Amino acid sequence: MIEAPLTSPLADQPAMRPILVILHQATSSPGRVGIMLRQMGFPLDIRRPALGDNLPGSLDDHAGVVVFGGPMSANDDEAFIHRETDWLTVPLSENRPLLGLCLGAQMMVNHLGGKVQKPADGRAEYGWYDLEPTEAGRDLFDQWPAKVLQFHKEGVTLPSEAALLARGEENFPNQAFAIGSNAIGVQFHPELTALMLHRWVVKAHERFSLPGAQNAKACLEGRLIFDEPLRRWAVNLLEHLFNGKPGGPERRTPLESAR
């Protein structure tokens, strides 16, 4: 399914190639990241491999790819999980812009020989948690959010190819990483709109009782306090990956309205 951009490229420029968007449920949405990409002028080519959609053998016809999250595990023994994880050879070997969010980042880790696993003490992260950029992360982006929205029970051990960009709290230290110059994975969720967050909190209400999780009320209230820096960081992330612009102080672009 192709979604048209919300802004059009200039008339004297060729049409922009679409961003391949990989979702994992029938009701899943690319959320704020999708809105931002469309406002940048990119059409979205939305595919759901879990529902039988094919993935392209090359990204020659795409400007890049975003692999979103889902309630499943990157370690699940489902055929689509294996196919999708193996398919990451395409963007990585072609050096195409690649963004993995939560499950998408964990698939990147598994593809490259790292590990995805639950903490030994069974703790989880649901809510807003501290984030600290590494020196490599600060070199890439001048500004990072102090807290980010987490919805996961599994963490990652990074493969040797990965450069750690940001650390999290004790049980989930590896929160953002880069593979080469064109691929970034993050454990957290910059894509959630307010409506999506409310829906996730309702659908996953039982997970807020897990060890380490915050309560649902704190998760919802945290968005009012902590989301704006996360949104600004997402602007820089997408500009960096898909427009080739370095990170730094946010520029005033149409992305200002994407909340």
The answer to whether the pTM exceeds 0.85 is: yes
| Nearest residue to 56 via CA among 29, 31, 19 | 19
| Choice among 191, 219, 239, 240 that is catalytic | 191
Q: Look up 152 and say whether it is catalytic.
A: no
> Is 143 a member of any domain?
no
| Choice among 62, 102, 152, 219 that is catalytic | 102
**Rounded Cα distance, 208 and 152, in Å:** 11
3-class DSSP assignment, residue 238: helix
Residue 96's domain is classified under what CATH number?
A: 3.40.50.880
> Is 82 a member of any domain?
yes
- What pLDDT, in 10s, does the model give residues 96-146? 999 999 999 999 999 999 999 999 899 999 999 999 999 999 999 999 999
- What pLDDT, in 10s, does the model give residues 96-109? 999 999 999 999 99
Indicate the number of domains in the chain. 1
| Choice among 62, 111, 152, 189 that is catalytic | 189
> Is 176 a member of any domain?
yes
Token pair listed for 228: 């704006």
- What pLDDT, in 10s, does the model give residues 171-225? 999 999 999 999 999 999 999 999 999 999 999 999 999 999 999 999 999 999 9
* CA quadruple 47, 52, 58, 61: dihedral sign: negative
> Is 140 a member of any domain?
no
What is the DSSP code string of 197-224?
HHHHHHHTGGGGGSTTPPPHHHHHHHHH
> Is 104 a member of any domain?
yes
Q: How far is CA 122 from CA 6, 77, 117, 118, 141, in A?
A: 43, 21, 10, 6, 32
> Is 201 a member of any domain?
no
Euclidean distance between the first and the last CA atom of the chain, given in angstroms as a whole number? 23
Question: 199: burial class by Cβ within 10 Å (0-12, 13-18, 19+)?
Answer: middle
**Rounded Cα distance, 147 and 123, in Å:** 18
> Is 133 a member of any domain?
no
Enclosing domain of residue 66:
2-120+153-191+233-250
> Is 31 a member of any domain?
yes
Q: Look up 191 and say whether it is catalytic.
A: yes
- What pLDDT, in 10s, does the model give residues 35-68? 999 999 999 999 999 999 999 999 999 999 999 9
| Nearest residue to 175 via CA among 102, 73, 86 | 102
**Rounded Cα distance, 64 and 40, in Å:** 13
Residue 100 contacts residue 57 (beta carbons within 8 Å): no
Q: Look up 102 and say whether it is catalytic.
A: yes
